Amino acid sequence: MITLSIDGRSVTVPPGTTLWQAARQVGTDIPVLCHSPRLEPVGVCRLCVVDVGGRTLAASCVRACEEGMQVQTRSDRVEQQRRTLLALDPACAVRVVPGVSSVQAAAAACGMELAESGENLAVLSGVDDPARLRAALAACDGAVILKAYRSLPALRALLEDMGLGSGAVLVSRCGLDGEDVWRGTDAWPEKPSYFSIILVKK
Ligand code: FES
């Protein structure tokens, strides 16, 4: 038997089990396009990729489990690849699953790449001192501002003053009923939901 970790959960499977099959054992459904459990895997579409810590992502429907593997079924790299593939096929529905992390879910909801290559991403508190927020925003390539609800007017003014208003996206109730995305501070509502997050990309 082989023991590995999938999204931090330990699972033991017989040799020859694919990562996709093992993920199902721990209750994780990895999306597939070219794969059916009733057919021999062909591994051509790569929608089912997962992160096994290597240089490239692994197609989970064909990659066999290995002892001690640390597998991430949702990460920025994985989500980015899936989004790219789904964008090529508009017939595929994109579903955002809540609970992974509000930052990743919000980025997925608005199709934004938070950071690429050597870019820096700052995760900031919307109720921080305005001068500290300004300095942090000036120093990063992109930012996530949490606790946006209480200070929204001040945050809007700060972002606009720094010339970042058009690239600032407000995401409310991400993954919940009533999810909304407003791109650019001009479009932001006066009173968004308490569950709101701001993404900024320069
Ligand atoms: S589902 Fe197509 S490569 Fe795995």
Q: What is the CATH number of the domain that holds 19?
A: 3.10.20.740
* 50 located within any domain: yes
Distances 168 to 120, 142, 160, 163 between C-alpha atoms, Å: 16, 10, 9, 10
Residue with tokens 């994985």: 78
Ligand 1 centroid to 88 CA: how many Å? Answer: 15
Q: What is the pLDDT of residue 95?
A: 56
Report how many domains make up the chain.
Answer: 2
14 and 75 co-located in one domain? yes
Ligand 1 centroid to 115 CA: how many Å? Answer: 26
Counting Cβ atoms within 10 Å, is residue 39 exposed (0-12), middle (13-18) or buried (19+)?
A: exposed
Q: What is the pLDDT of residue 169?
A: 94
108 and 189 co-located in one domain? yes
pLDDT tens-digit profile, the chain (202 residues): 999 999 889 999 999 999 999 999 999 889 888 887 777 777 778 889 999 988 889 999 999 999 999 999 987 788 888 877 776 666 655 555 544 567 777 887 777 888 888 899 999 999 889 999 999 999 999 999 988 887 899 999 999 999 999 999 999 887 777 788 999 999 999 888 777 899 999 8
110 and 192 co-located in one domain? yes
Q: What is the pLDDT of residue 56?
A: 87
- CA 93 vs. chain centroid, Å, equals 16
59 and 109 co-located in one domain? no
| 43 Cα nearest atom in ligand 1 | 3
Positions of E strands within the chain:
2-6, 9-13, 49-50, 58-59, 70-71, 121-125, 142-146, 168-172, 180-183, 196-201
Q: What is the pLDDT of residue 191?
A: 82
33 and 109 co-located in one domain? no
Residue 180: beta bridge partners?
Answer: 172
Structural domain of residue 17, as residue ranges? 2-88
In this structure, what token pair is assigned to residue 13? Answer: 């499977």
* 133 located within any domain: yes
* 28 located within any domain: yes
| 35 Cα nearest atom in ligand 1 | 1
74 and 108 co-located in one domain? no
Looking at 32, 59, 88, the residue that finishes a domain is 88
Residue with tokens 């999204």: 7
